């Protein structure tokens, strides 16, 4: 239990530090996230901190570890924690989808630019005079 008492607050502090770093990189313009992805990440991070705090409070403050002592409180509290965890998973899946969409758009841009480059090279080759063909018989 002592490990859990140290681990939960440490994880919450780590998540907060990562959120602060994410916001700083976004404000400095050194991060390639959209407003939507930043909002998803901030919401996920804040929900994760709230969930870690709720678990800490449920275990160490309210002491809701035994379902037989207070069954209604136990079910409501841990059910709401499970609901928050489910919402957190949905937010993270939405963030993964945003990353995947961005990756696909970037890949399409790369292929489009490559096709334009090839087309311009072919067009430039048609406009320049062709080199005279070497005679095979003059060797």
Q: What percent of the chain has pLDDT over 70?
A: 90
Q: Does residue 54 lie in a domain region?
A: yes
Q: Is residue 83 part of a domain?
A: yes
Please state, in angstroms and as integers, the Cα–Cα distance from residue 95 to each residue in 66, 89, 90, 108, following that order: 36, 10, 9, 20
- Tell me the pLDDT band of 128, cut-offs 50, 70 and 90: low
Expressed as residue numbers, the domain containing 56 is: 2-107
Distance CA 36, CA 31 (A): 13
- pTM for the complete prediction? 0.76
The answer to whether residue 133 is domain-embedded is: no
Domain contains 125? no
Instruction: Specify if 11 maps to a domain.
Output: yes
DSSP H helices, 29-70, are 35-56
pLDDT category of residue 135 using cuts at 50, 70 and 90:
low
C-beta separation of 8 from 52 below 8 A:
yes
Q: How many domains does the chain have?
A: 1
């Amino acid at each position: 239990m002592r490990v859990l008492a140290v681990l939960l607050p440490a994880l919450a502090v780590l998540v907060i530090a990562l959120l602060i770093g994410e916001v700083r990189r976004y404000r400095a313009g050194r991060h390639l996230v959209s407003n939507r992805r930043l909002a998803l990440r901030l919401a996920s991070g804040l929900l994760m901190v709230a969930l870690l705090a709720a678990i800490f409070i449920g275990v160490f403050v309210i002491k809701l570890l035994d379902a037989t002592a207070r069954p209604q409180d136990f079910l409501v509290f841990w059910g709401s924690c499970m609901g928050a965890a489910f919402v957190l998973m949905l937010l993270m899946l939405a963030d993964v989808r945003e990353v995947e969409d961005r990756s696909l758009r970037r890949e399409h841009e790369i292929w489009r630019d490559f096709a334009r480059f090839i087309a311009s090279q072919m067009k430039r080759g048609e406009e320049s005079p062709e080199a005279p063909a070497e005679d095979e018989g003059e060797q």
